[in-house]
Amino acid sequence: MPADLSPIDKAKFVAAKRASEFVESGMRVGLGTGSTAAWLVRCLGEMVREEGLRIRGVPTSARTAALARDVGIDVISLDEAKWLDLTIDGADEFDPELNLIKGGGGALLQEKIVATASDQMIVIADAAKEVANLGAFPLPVEVVPFGWQTTQALLSETLEAMDVMGREITLRMNGERPYVTDEGNYIVDLHLGRIGNARQLALILNQMPGVVENGLFVDICDRVIVGHGDGRIELRDINAGTVTEDRMEFVEDDNLFRDL
């Protein structure tokens, strides 16, 4: 096992490597955004170069698109693909029902569109992302810049009637300026602590004028692959109701680590 990788990076790598085994030639694959999804893109790139894997990838952000092209994956738009066989992405949190909070990387809108346009979604994560109840990670909500402060006030008022522990709302910043998504929108983060009813909250948030999308992914994920720093892997299948375990051995000269 490469000595310069932290346990958390090793956990992300083994989860991504295991998920790559679900990808077959001819597939149209949604490619997620974030540090764990970046490992998946690298794994798939190696399969393209070394094994002749032929896939078309639909990235969920500009930075994922750039990485995919760099590693040799054929990149197309969702409009070109029309429908996907599989999407593989990370998550900021997942609960026992495989409901998710996503959007820590700022790409929640494209991520949700791509995931829901897929036959199945696999989430790859390290064990720290597992929670009993969603909400410890701030819930991202993408909003249009016009009147965003009014939208934030409406969100605050709405949260008063929701089953949540906290109600603080902050505008995500990029230095001294608001963070801007690939679609030109802002993100406000809801610091809720605990979400009692994720499905209800997701529906109510998306009914609000000014809200584009929220980071609650409910009934979208089919499998979660959890990686551990010692090479252990857990695969949880919500449809089959199964949990399987495996272990991955590392080699010092793994191609994926040569340029890290």
Contact indicator for 142, 186 with CB cutoff of 8 Å: yes
| Sign of the dihedral defined by the CA atoms of residues 180, 182, 188, 192, in that order | negative
- To the question of whether residue 36 is assigned a binding role by annotation, the answer is yes
Residue 135 among known ligand-binding residues: no
Cβ-contact 212, 143 below 8 angstroms: yes
91 labelled ligand-binding: yes
- Which string of b and e fits 214-224 if b means at least 16 CB within 10 Å? bbbbbebbbbb
- Rounded distance between C-alpha atoms, residue 126 and residue 113, angstroms: 24
Q: Annotation-wise, does 132 bind a ligand?
A: no
Mind spelling out the 3-state secondary structure of 145-171? CCCHHHHHHHHHHHHCCCCECCCEEEE
224 in Cβ contact with 205 (< 8 Å): no
129 belongs to an annotated ligand binding site: yes
- Give the CA angle between residues 221, 223, 224 to the nearest 5°: 100
According to the annotation, is 103 in a ligand binding site?
Answer: yes
CB 231 within 8 A of CB 248: yes
Q: Is 33 annotated as a binding residue?
A: yes
**Angle CA 186–31–207, to nearest 5:** 40
CB count within 10 Å of CB 199 equals 13
Catalytic option among 93, 111, 142, 213 = 111
Q: Was 34 annotated as part of a binding site? A: yes
Q: Is 70 annotated as a binding residue?
A: no
163 is in an annotated binding site: no
Residue 111 annotated among the catalytic residues of the structure: yes
Residues 6+ apart with CB under 8 A from 21: none
Residues recognised as catalytic: 111
Q: Which residues are annotated as a binding site for substrate?
A: 33-36, 89-92, 102-105, 129
Q: Which residues are annotated as a binding site?
A: 33-36, 89-92, 102-105, 129
